[in-house]
Chain A
Amino acid sequence: MNIQQELRDAARKLLAEGGVDQIIGWSSGSLPMSSTPLFAATKEEADDLIFDATCGSNLTVYFTKDRRQIARDGKKSGVVVKGCDARSIVLNLKENQIKRDDVVIIGVPCDGIIDRSKVEDKTGGREVLEFSDNGKNISVKGRGFDIDIPRTEVLSDSCISCVHPDAGMSDIFIGEPRGEQKTKDQYLSVEQFEELSAEERWERTKQEYSKCIRCYACRNVCPSCYCNECFVDQNDPQWIGKTLDLSDTIIFHVIRNLHVAGRCVECGSCERACPMDIRLLLLNRKVAKEVAERFGMETGVDPDAKPAMSDFREGEKQDFIMG
C-alpha cells in the first residue's frame, strides 16, 4: 500500500507548483494507533502526511464554522478526503460554505477506518504500543501481545456499511478507486433496533444517552454543523436546559440529528470524537434510512441535488399523517 508516498509526492507538487498554500491532511498522532490533522505549508511538512486505517476525522470541518479561517482567509487549500469526507465537500459547496476555487480536493480510496474500542476488545484491553496498517490486516503490538487482525473485524460501524468509499468529487485521485460497494444490509443495525419493542428501545436510548456529558465534541467535529450560534448555546430564548437531565440530553441529540437530516454523510467523526463512546450513528443512520426511503436521496452524492430537507415533491408519501 504505497498510497502514502504518492500522497506526499502529490502534496509536494501542489505546494510547489499548484498555487496551493497548504495541504490539510492527517499525520501520525501522539499516541500509537491515532492520527491528527496536519496543515502542511512546506514540502518538508508534506512528508509527514499519512493515510491509513486511523485517519477517521473528516477534515472538511476546517472549511466550516469558526475554524473556517484555517482553510480560507484568502488561502487556497488542498484537502485530503475519503469517500465520506468528499461528500461533505459536495454538501458544503452546495450550501455555499466553500468556494470551489479555494479548494483542491485530493481523493483517496478508503478501506475503512478502525474502531479503537473494537481493537481494544481484541487485545483484551491491553494498551497498543505499536500499530501498522498493512491494508487487509492491521498489526498491533504491546506488552505481551503481537497480533495481526483482519481489518474487517475492527471496522467502525459507519465503514462496514459504506457504499461510496472513493471520493466522488476530486481534483486529484491517489491510488486505485475501490468502486461502489454493494453493501447488502446497509441499514442492518437500524433494522435490528427497529425490531425491539418500544420499551426496549427507550431503555437502550436512555442507557446510551445518559452517558453524555454534553461536551459537544460531536457537534464540533461535524462538517455539517456550522451554525454561528447553535441552538444549544442560545440563551434567549433558551431552548434546552444545560443540564445532564436525560430529557435535555436526548432533545439535544434528536434536534441535532434533525438539523443534519439529509446533510449527514455518516462519516462517523462525531462518534469517534465522543469521549463517552456513545453509539451516536444509530440515530443518524435511522434518519438517513428515512431520507433515502422516503425522498430517494443520499447526502453529497449528486452535486446538483438540493439537500433533502430544503426540497419537496408534491405527491410524497404521507403515511404518518392522520387519514
Chain B
Amino acid sequence: MNDWQPKILAILCTWCSYAGADLAGVSRIQYPPNIRVVKVPCSGRVDPLFIMKSLQSGYDGILVSGCHPGDCHYMSGNFVARRRFAVLKPLLEFIGIEPDRVQFSWVSAGEGERFAQVVTKVTEDVKKLGPAKRLVKQV
C-alpha cells in the first residue's frame, strides 16, 4: 500500500491558482505529481456537480482553488463559490464522505511556494485515507 499513488483532481481558477501553479513550475519548486489540473475561468465556475462527478469517476481527492477573497478577477466569483462550498463540504461529511477527500484553498498568482505546499498537504491527506470507494460508480 505504501507505494500507492492517489489520483487528485485540481480545479484551479485561471487568474490566481493556475498562475500560482505556473509560478511553482517556472521556479522549479517540487511538489507531488499526483494532481491532474483542470483550468476554470473562476472558482465561481465550479459547480458542485464537477466535484461529485469526479468522486464518482474514481478520483481519490479533489482540490478546488481560487483567488483570495477580495482578489477575484470578477469581483465576487469566489465569494459566491465560497458559500457554495461552505454548504457542500459539511453536506458531504454529513453523508459520510471523508472530510479530506474534498478540499478548498486560496492561492494567488504570486504564491508558487504556497501552491506546492497545498498540493503536498492534499496529497499526504489523501494518501492517509487510501483509495476512494464511497460514491465511486461500480460499472
Residues of A at under 8 Å CB distance from B? Answer: 190, 193-194, 198-205, 231, 239-241, 245, 247-248, 250-251, 254-255, 257-258, 261-262, 283, 286-287, 290-291, 294-295, 308-312, 314, 316-318, 320-322
Give the contacts of B62-119 with A (CB-CB under 8 A).
69-70, 76, 79-80, 82-98, 103-106, 118
Residue of A nearest to B68 (CB): A321
Q: Taking the nearest CB of chain B, how far is it from the CB of A205, in angstroms?
A: 4
B residues in contact (CB < 8 Å) with A: 48-49, 52-53, 56, 69-70, 76, 79-80, 82-98, 103-106, 118, 121-122, 134-139
Cα-based distance from A115 to B109 in the complex (angstroms): 55
- For the complex formed, measure the closest distance between the CB of B70 and the CB atoms of chain A, giving whole angstroms: 7
Chain A: CB-nearest residue to B64: A321
- Which residues of B are found within 8 Å of A239, using beta-carbon distances? 49, 53
Contact A201–B56 (Cβ < 8 Å): no
Interface of chain A: mostly helix, strand, loop or mixed = helix
Q: Are A312 and B83 in contact (CB-based, < 8 A)?
A: yes
Provide a sorted-by-A list of 5 A–B residue pairs whose CB atoms are within 8 angstroms.
A202-B134, A245-B139, A295-B83, A312-B82, A316-B82
Instruction: Let me know if B90 and A202 touch, CB within 8 A.
Output: no
Which of chain A's residues have a CB closer than 8 A to the CB of B93? Answer: 198
Could you tell me the distance between the alpha carbons of A308 and B85 in the complex, rounded to whole angstroms? Answer: 13
Q: Is the CB of B89 within 8 A of A251?
A: no
Q: Contacts of A316 on B, CB cut-off 8 Å?
A: 79, 82-83, 86
Q: Are B80 and A310 in contact (CB under 8 A)?
A: yes
**C-alpha spacing A317/B86, complex, angstroms:** 9
B104 and A321 form a contact (CB under 8 A): yes
For A201, what are the chain B residues with a Cβ–Cβ distance below 8 Å? 94-96
